[in-house]
């Protein structure tokens, strides 16, 4: 596996962030773990990431969260994105979970999904979590596999309109 780093987004990755966003949109991929990148330009997104981390300028119903990008050290390519929400809202407890993530379209099925979650769990532990809730649609086999690989323990499946979300807890070891 290439050397990867899960870091806070920074201006110097602006072009890569835009490339990641455009590729995801072109492929009609769900953009989990990207905050509101789909809806805003990269400069606004970077500002939101900085603000939301400290609970500033949060949209209605949002909780503070830390956004990360997964960068491959050999070529500085953004391989994935992950965000950690610092606390539960009713929605997050029932459906959203605390960690969201996605992998670049052209880099899928290479083990990076399992790896980004592994690195994300280390960050969650540093943020003070003893356990985290992660959810996936019942149709999302790759995500379920990433969760199970990282120690996910199934609790239940909850219905949100016409979708079913599987809820898994992961204990963060000492």
Ligand X SMILES: CC(C)(COP(=O)(O)OP(=O)(O)OC[C@H]1O[C@@H](n2cnc3c(N)ncnc32)[C@H](O)[C@@H]1OP(=O)(O)O)[C@@H](O)C(=O)NCCC(=O)NCCS
Give min distance, CB of 152 to ligand X, in A.
11
Q: Is 6 in the site for ligand X (CB under 6 A)?
A: no
SS3 of 12, please?
A: helix
DSSP assignment letter at 174: -
151 Ramachandran zone, left/alpha/beta (phi>0; psi -120 to 50): left
Q: What gap in Å lies between CA 95 and CA 90, rounded to an integer?
A: 8
Helix ranges (H only) for the chain are 14-26, 42-53, 90-91, 112-126, 141-149
The residue within the footprint of ligand X, chosen from 48, 66, 67, 143 (CB under 6 A), is 143
Q: Is 111 in the site for ligand X (CB under 6 A)?
A: yes
The residue within the footprint of ligand X, chosen from 14, 50, 53, 140 (CB under 6 A), is 140
Number of separate helices (H) and strands (E) present in the chain: 5, 7
Q: Is 67 in the site for ligand X (CB under 6 A)?
A: no
Q: Is 55 in the site for ligand X (CB under 6 A)?
A: no
Angle at 90 between CA 85 and CA 95, to 5 degrees: 75
The residue within the footprint of ligand X, chosen from 44, 57, 141, 171 (CB under 6 A), is 141
Q: Measured from the CB atom, is 48 or 143 closer to ligand X?
A: 143
Q: Is 77 in the site for ligand X (CB under 6 A)?
A: no
Q: Is 112 in the site for ligand X (CB under 6 A)?
A: yes
Number of residues that bind ligand X (CB under 6 A): 22
Question: Applying CB under 6 A, which residues contact ligand X?
Answer: 29-30, 32, 100-103, 108-114, 136, 140-143, 145-146, 149
């Amino acid at each position: 596996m290439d050397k990867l780093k899960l870091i806070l987004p920074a201006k110097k990755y602006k072009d890569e962030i835009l490339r990641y966003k455009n590729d995801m949109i072109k492929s009609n991929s769900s953009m989990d773990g990207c905050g509101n990148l789909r809806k805003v330009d990269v400069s606004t997104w970077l500002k939101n990431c900085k603000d939301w981390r400290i609970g500033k300028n949060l949209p209605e119903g949002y909780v503070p969260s830390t956004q990360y990008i997964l960068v491959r050290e050999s070529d500085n390519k953004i391989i994935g994105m992950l965000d950690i929400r610092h606390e539960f809202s009713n929605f997050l407890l029932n459906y959203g979970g605390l960690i969201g993530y996605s992998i670049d379209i052209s880099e899928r099925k290479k083990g990076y999904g399992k790896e980004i979650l592994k690195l994300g769990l280390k960050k969650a532990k540093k943020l003070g979590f003893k356990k985290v809730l992660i959810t996936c649609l019942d149709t999302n086999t790759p995500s379920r596999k990433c969760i199970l690989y990282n120690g996910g323990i199934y609790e239940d499946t909850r219905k949100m309109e016409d979708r079913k979300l599987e809820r898994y807890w992961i204990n963060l070891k000492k």
